[in-house]
Amino acid sequence: MTAIRPLVAGNWKMNGLSSSLAELEALKAHVKGKPVLPADLMVCPPATLLSRAAQVLAGSGIALGAQDCHPLPSGAHTGDISAEMLADAGATAVIVGHSERRTDHGEIDALVNAKARAAHRAGLTAIICVGETEKERRDRTTLGVVARQLKGSVPQGSQAANTVIAYEPVWAIGTGLTPTPVDVAEVHGFIRGELAGLLGQGEADRLRILYGGSVKPGNASELLSVENVNGALVGGASLKADDLYAILKAYCGRTA
Ligand code: PEP
């Protein structure tokens, strides 16, 4: 299997005003003059900041992502934003199926699948989130839950070039709790195997599988060195440029 270039993506969630663009300036300053970063770096601010974030990040090498999209390209869907609109605003990726959307908005796998297809249609990378709840982990159904989510949420024909999987145990998001490296390795290895069944071994071997859930500068090295972990989806810690950059630096000196 060839080495997979890792991705560190920051999900700002429903945080960020105009003043937060200063954090993007700070992130830009961190990467400036460093011709080769150890991993790809992406920030996913709220939709209201996308256009201005695109201007700030232009030419920096830092990618811009969004947090959700509607399955359709346009139409009478008040308050929704299409993948085409996100691309037009400067995004190159969009998170779909985040557990907060699955919980807050009742999003089911079929809808997540439609959103991922919309992302592909618009030329965006779909970052598809899966992960078990605390109860599901306690009941030892983690692998079954993740398998069902992957089967339902990952569109047929998805490729490593347009799709990223984020394994985010729901109980680890924003709680400061994390699975053990052994547990992370088990689920990520399992996801790679499931992807081989869904998309073929070639795509599965190239696809990035991110870990998400309370990744911080202090635990990034341990979590990101786990086998089959090809980067991180970072929530809270991504709001501070220094912290997001410190997480990226966990890759310095490694060839993951
Ligand atoms: C997330 O929201 O995707 C996430 C991983 O959040 P946090 O890092 O805050 O746990």
Model confidence pLDDT, tens digit, residues 32-91: 988 789 999 999 999 999 999 999 999 999 999 999 999 999 999 999 999 999 999 999
What is the pLDDT at residue 48? 98
pLDDT at 205 over 70: yes
pLDDT at 11 over 70: yes
Pocket of ligand 1 contains residue 223 by CB under 6 Å: no
Tell me the CA–centroid distance for residue 211 and ligand 1, in Å.
10
What is the pLDDT at residue 1? 61
User: What average pLDDT does this structure show over 151-161?
Assistant: 98
Confidence of residue 255 (pLDDT cuts 50, 70, 90): very low
Confidence of residue 180 (pLDDT cuts 50, 70, 90): very high
Mean pLDDT over the full length of the chain: 96
pLDDT at 256 over 90: no
User: What average pLDDT does this structure show over 159-188?
Assistant: 98
Pocket of ligand 1 contains residue 153 by CB under 6 Å: no
Tell me the CA–centroid distance for residue 216 and ligand 1, in Å.
10
What is the pLDDT at residue 186? 98
Confidence (pTM): 0.97
Tell me the CA–centroid distance for residue 45 and ligand 1, in Å.
13
Confidence of residue 138 (pLDDT cuts 50, 70, 90): very high
Neighbouring residues of 99: CB distance < 8 A, sequence distance ≥ 6 = 129, 131, 168, 170, 173
| Backbone phi and psi for residue 30, each to the nearest 5 degrees, phi listed first | -65, -40
- 3/11 Cα distance (integer angstroms): 25
What is the pLDDT at residue 34? 86
User: What average pLDDT does this structure show over 193-222?
Assistant: 98
- 45/53 Cα distance (integer angstroms): 8
What is the pLDDT at residue 254? 58
Residue range 120-129, pLDDT digits in tens: 999 999 999 9
Pocket of ligand 1 contains residue 214 by CB under 6 Å: yes
| Minimal-distance CA residue to ligand 1 atom 8 | 235
What is the pLDDT at residue 33? 86
| Minimal-distance CA residue to ligand 1 atom 2 | 235
